[in-house]
A and B are shown apart, each in its own frame.
Chain A
Amino acid sequence: MSDASITDIAQAEQGTSLWHDAWLRLRRNRLALFGLGILVLFITIALLTPWIAPYGYAEQNLDLGASGPSAAHWLGTDIFGRDLLTQIMYGGRISLAVGFIATAVALLIGVTWGAVAGYVGGRVDAVMMRLVDILYALPFMIFIVLLMVVFGRNLLLLFLAIGAVEWLTMARIMRSQVQTLRQQEFVEAAVSLGLSPSTIIRRHVIPNALGPIIVYTTLTIPSVMLLEAFLSFLGLGIQPPQTSWGLLISYGAETMEEYPWLLLFPGLALTLTLFSLNFLGDGLRDALDVRGSRD
């Protein structure tokens, strides 16, 4: 056998990677692409807001007051005469940041915790999962409130606090996935090849458990955004003049009869984000699910 033929075989065996394969499948899913597009658009806007926002976010015009959409204010103004488009853009920064960062925290802790518990099993599993049960039993709202009261109001802490309570379900899902996967032949094969447990978890277990995790993640992001609005309303989250979509919606809901646009536009922004996340999540699940693939 020549050297060249060995390389050829290696190339043929390598084929396409999991991610490349998934991307090819995702590209065929139009809704998922639409979702991805919207999300990328919103994130870009959020990042560029300080440069592209039409007005300052705290800039008031009391004499103007609440006015409907107009040429000067595309989405209208609130009762302080603040431009609603600007408010939504700045609110999006906070909401998206809370949504993604808190969820990322939850994802990191939950997936690691669940994977280790599920893979190692036995007594370690029992102890780790009982800890999760105990944390589940704590009223998590009180837990967050306590954190915020003790450590003071701080945006970064808010992200961490929310993430720290949202990981529990994630850990459970991950653990059950890992327990089934552990019995699979390819994992046994990896074990007999002498791979270390951490490599097996990273290379073989987690990619195969991604489907349910991604779906759950797309559900976590919106619930985290709403949680932030709730905390802010209680005075524990962000404070005026800073704002978020959740807060804009809660203020808008108070005056939805007099000034419907104050509810409509922030609501639209949030809804669009949530739909996009769901479409993308569904698409990703289909794309990453190796077992259910059509080819």
Chain B
Amino acid sequence: MSLRRTALKLLPTLCLCVTLVACGSGESRVVQGNRNGILHYGNGTEPQGLDPHIVTGLPESHIVRALFEGLAVKNPFTLEPEPGVAQSWDISEDGRTVTFHLNPQARWSNGDTMTAHDYVWSWQRALNPAMGNQYAYMLYPIENAEAFATGKLQDFAEVGVKALDKHTLQVQLVTATPYFIQLMDHYSTFAVHRPTIEKFGQATDRFTPWTRVENIVGNGAFTLKEWKLNRRIRVEKSGTYWDRDRVKLNGVVFYPTENISSEERMFRVGQLHYTQTIPLDKIPVYRAMENSPYVNAPYLGTYYYLLNINEAPLQDVRVRRALSLAIDRERLNNTVLHAANVPAYGITPPGTLGYQPPKLFGHDVAAARQLLAEAGFPDGEGWPGLELTYNTSESHRKIAVALQQMWKDALNIEVTLSNQEWKVYLDSVDQMNFQMARRGWIGDYVDPNNFLDLFLCDGGNNNTGFCDPQYDDMITRQAPRAKSREERYAIFYAAETLLMEQMPFIPIYTYTSNHLIHPSVRDMPSNLMDSLNLKYVWLDQNWEGAQ
């Protein structure tokens, strides 16, 4: 018995040895990929799904944007909108009417022509309350879209979307929306293929088999070829995409790389061209390298802890502020985070198209202790306990462990940690089944509005219970009517001040993007959105000579 067990235990080791030997003698995936034009892409987590009107995560968005394309796409170098499915668009004088002229060459991957009707139907689906689309609000600038999405309006004909003819789509906006064209590159505004979806159920059925490899029909530069759960997702260059001559890659393989240490190791042994991130402890090592593959760039995203303000003890604003004031963000960033990020004191990243968020507080242990005492917990006495939920990941754990101790030292309170697998964690956050939960928000378009509208009463990603009509009024009524950018930003500033006084979340840091990129990868520039446009990317076989 014991012998057999030992043999069984040795088996994986043996297999590993065989694999290692096999890798050592053959050429690496990256070398092979460079020759065949296949990009090997570390994609973070296994995607939850591929339906553009359901998914919310960053890993999903990378794949969805390879398989689908919006009316307008972002140029990866300038972030300016450029033609996608629409070859051009006109904006009326008052800014309230946008007319898209669809490219007659735009095709679905099964050969069907793309029409303006596809968009009318898809946006009805995206906005349908039964769809449960968390990004439905991306389309709220459209007239009556919000009323339809919240069930106040039943008839979609009243929503400001019209197909004037097969290739002309006219959109009526509530008010001039400077960032509306940018939104067309967000996957929740993408068109989906009606016959395919209806073949597998109602338009609004969630997670039907239409997104499976054998069924899915998209309109992007790539088509889905293989989806091995927790192994890889392989896409190939599409033969029907209108701009296929510009697409240089023959395919992309997306790997779920939840464990960032293994991801880094995979990169090092030539299994990946690109990593989603880099283990914090490796940053100093890569920084010191010559011709380092490490790329660090400012990024439009904020890392914060959601507070469930319906639950004790967090319903007391003094407790929320005490928790926030007790954190030494500078020290956290300089030690555990290896100075890779920027400490945050608001929700909006500083410098979002010229907007600077207010900084109302700093690290102040004395004030934090005072606030906690006023709330009835002097020196942590009578503290009922607090649980912090985060999704399983080394970097989240490190921050949580460091903050846990900061709170213990500063306020003498216990905070327990609970890590959950990504999908479980998403569920907990959606259903507000937590006290304090880690959250990151990545900008969908470059505008402070994208961060501030998170905390509207009915914001799909609010998840804190925070609701202030005055705040809603500033963001949804006053700001869009502002005459100038200065006036608009002044309203945003006042709104964010109000938000941070209530502190329904604890800001921790502003993201920077950190990637390892193989030197053979070309035209994949860093930008504030960390926006990936695979259409531009190519692999240089002679990269060693080029250096």
Contacts and interface: CB of A to CB of B under 8 A. Distances in A.
A216 to B, nearest CB: 7
A216 B1 contact: yes
Interface of B: 1-2, 5, 261, 279, 281-282, 284-285, 331-332, 335-336, 392, 394, 397-398, 400-402, 404-405, 408-409, 416-421
Interface residues of A, number: 29
B331 A259 contact: no
Given A216-B1, A240-B397, A241-B404, A62 B418 contact: no
B503 to A, nearest CB: 24
B405 A58 contact: yes
Contacts of B419: 235, 239
A215 B421 contact: no
Contacts of B2: 215-216, 219
A234 B420 CA distance: 7
Interface string A17-59: 0000000000000000000000000000000000000000011
Nearest to B409: A60
Contact of A62 (B335, B404, B408, B416): B335
Given A65-B335, A216-B2, A219-B2, 18 more contacts: A58-B404, A58-B408, A62-B335, A62-B402, A80-B336, A234-B421, A239-B416, A239-B418, A240-B417, A241-B401, A241-B405, A254-B261, A254-B279, A254-B281, A254-B394, A255-B279, A258-B284, A259-B281
A62 B398 CA distance: 11
Contacts of B397: 240
A59 B421 CA distance: 28
A13 interface: no
Contacts of A255: 261, 279, 281
Contacts of A233: 392
A79 interface: yes
Contacts of B1: 169, 173, 212, 216
Contacts of B409: 60
A79 B408 contact: no
Nearest to A258: B281
B281 A235 contact: no
B392 A234 contact: yes
A65 B417 CA distance: 21
Interface string A69-113: 000000000011000000000000000000000000000000000
Interface string A237-268: 00111000000000101110111000000000
Nearest to A235: B419
A234 B421 CA distance: 7
Contacts of B336: 62, 79-80
Contact of B392 (A66, A216, A235, A251): A235
A288 B404 CA distance: 50
B126 to A, nearest CB: 34
A63 interface: yes
